[in-house]
Structure 1
Amino acid sequence: MTDDHNRPHPGAAFDALGAEYEKAFAGSKAHRRSLEWLLGRLAPGSRVLDVGSGTGRPTAETLAAAGHDVLGVDVSPVMVELAARQVPDATFRCADIHDVPLDDASFDAVCVYFSLLQLDRREQAALIGRLTRVLRPGGHLVLATVPLDVDGVDAVFMGQPVRVTSFTAQALATVVGEAGLEVVTEEATLFTPAHPDARPEPHLFLHCRRPAATAPDA
Structure 2
Amino acid sequence: MADGHQHAAAVAFDAIGDAYERAFAGSAAHRASLARLLGVLAPHSRILDVGSGTGRPTADTLAAAGHEVLGVDVSPVMVELASRRVPAASFRQADIRGIPVEEEGFDAVCVYFSLLQMSREEQRSVVTRLAGALRPGGHLVLATVPLDVEDVGAVFMGQEVRVTSFGPEAFRALATGAGLVVEDEDDSVFTPAHPGAVPEPHLFLHCRRKTVRPGH
Q: Which runs of 5+ in 1 are unaligned?
A: none
Compared CA separation, residues 109 and 11, structure 1 to 2 (3 A): same
- Helix, strand or coil for the counterpart of 2:129? helix
Aligned length: 215
1:211 Cα offset (Å)? 1.8
Task: Give the equivalent residue in structure 1 for 2:158.
Answer: 159
Give the whole-Å Cα distance in 1 for the aligned partners of 2:199 and 2:106.
34
CA distance in 2, matches of 1:150, 1:19: 27
Shift of 1:5: 8.8
3-state DSSP class of the match of 2:55? coil
One-letter amino acid of the counterpart of residue 139, structure 2: H
Match for residue 171 of structure 2? 172
Structure 1 runs (4+) greater than 3 angstroms displaced: 3-8
Indicate whether 1:85 and 2:84 are aligned. yes
Say which SS state the counterpart of residue 98 (structure 1) adopts. Answer: coil
Which residues in structure 2 correspond to 1:28-177 (within 5 Å)? 28-177=27-176
Secondary structure at the counterpart of residue 196 of structure 1: coil
TM-score, with structure 1 as normaliser: 0.95
| SS of equivalent to 2:148 | coil
Q: CA deviation at 1:102?
A: 1.6
> Which one-letter code corresponds to 1:106 in the other structure?
G
Distance in 1 of aligned mates of 2:4 and 2:74: 18
Post-superposition Cα deviations, 1:98-157, rounded to whole Å, max 9, x if no partner, equal 232222111000000000000000000010000000000000000000000000001100
How many Å apart are 1:88 and its aligned residue?
0.2
Decide which of 210, 213, 216 is 1:215's aligned counterpart.
213
Gaps of 5+ in 2: none
Percent identical residues:
65
8 Å CA contact retained: 1:133, 1:216: no
Residue 26 of structure 2 aligns with an amino acid whose one-letter code is G
The secondary structure found in structure 1 opposite 2:40 is coil
Structure 1 residue matching 2:101: 3-state secondary structure: coil
> RMSD over aligned Cα, in angstroms?
1.5
| Secondary structure at the counterpart of residue 208 of structure 1 | strand
Contact 1:159 1:197 in 2 (8 A): no
SS of 2:47 mapped into structure 1 = strand
Q: What are the Cα deviations for residues 162-189 of structure 1, in whole angstroms up to 9, with x where unaligned? A: 0000000000111111100010000000
